[in-house]
Every structure is written in C-alpha cells, then in structure tokens.
Amino acid sequence: MIDLSIQAKIVALWAVFLFGMVFHSQLAMMPMLYGQSVAMPGAKGKMPVTHPWLMLGFYAIPMLAIAATALINWQPYRIIHFGLTALYTALNFLHAALDLTVKPIEWYQIALMVVVFFNGIFLNILAFEWMQVF
C-alpha cells in the first residue's frame, strides 16, 4: 500500500475541489445545449467587469495553494494554508445555501456542492493536521 505524504493528500483534495467547481460551472451551462437561456434574472446582457476577476481569483488561489503546498513545508505557510482551507469551506457552504434559494432548485447542483463541501471538510482536517506538525 502506498503511504502518501500529508502534502500529497492536500494537493489531491485541492484538485478535487477545483474539478468540482469547474463541473459546477459546466453544469450551469448545460441548458444552453438545449437552447435554453442561462442568463441571470435581471441581467442586461453585460457582465460587470469585476465578476471575471473575482472568478479568476477564486480559482487561481487554490491553484497557487496546490503549487505552494507541493513545494513549501514552512510552518507560517501551513498556518496560512489552514486559514485558506477554512475560508473556502465556509464559502462553499454559503454557496450551497444560496443555491437553495434559486428557483427552481437544481438538485444536481446542490448534490455537487455537497460533495465539494465535504471534500473541503476533509481538506480542513488534513490542513489542520499538517499545521500541527513541527
């Protein structure tokens, strides 16, 4: 049996998180294949300039965390990393809760967000354990 380092496990869970979020976005676009609109209610056909930058940041930060976790074993980074995983888990919970307010509720999206949320819980546990290593 292969015994992966805690850093390798963390990298794997961050990758699962990113795949989950990409799939979440992809699932939201699926109605377009059937000629349905995916526009947000009240959208005027122009995305605010801040939205793609926020999305870029939301995806880029875990990408940087993957690289840093693979390369850095420095105690201050491990503390920052744990805080980052906690923040992303809280944001995922909030996102799933807000998805429950969208009508009609897309239960496949909720199911995916629950998977991503529990992945985040496991990531928090491993990040906490890694933070405790001296």
Does residue 44 form part of some domain?
A: no
Residue 14 contacts residue 123 (beta carbons within 8 Å): yes
Query: What pTM was estimated for this model as a whole?
Result: 0.91
Q: Is residue 106 assigned to a domain? A: yes
In a domain, 48, yes or no: no
Domain limits for position 92: 78-134
* Number of structural domains in the chain: 1
Assess if residue 17 is contained within a domain: no
- Contact, 11 vs 66, CB < 8 A? yes
59-89-71 Cα angle (round to 5): 55
Asked if residue 12 lies in contact with residue 100, where contact means CB atoms within 8 angstroms, the answer is no
DSSP string for 85-114: HHHHHHHHHHHHHHHTTSSS--HHHHHHHH
The answer to the question of residue 86 being in a domain is yes
Q: Is residue 119 part of a domain?
A: yes
Q: Read off the pLDDT of residues 100-126 as tens digits, 9 standing for 90 and up.
A: 998 889 999 999 999 999 999 999 999
Within a domain: 42 = no
At residue 25, does pLDDT exceed 90?
yes
The pLDDT tens digits of the residues spanning 38-94 come to 887 778 888 899 999 999 999 999 999 999 999 999 999 999 999 999 999 999 999
In a domain, 59, yes or no: no
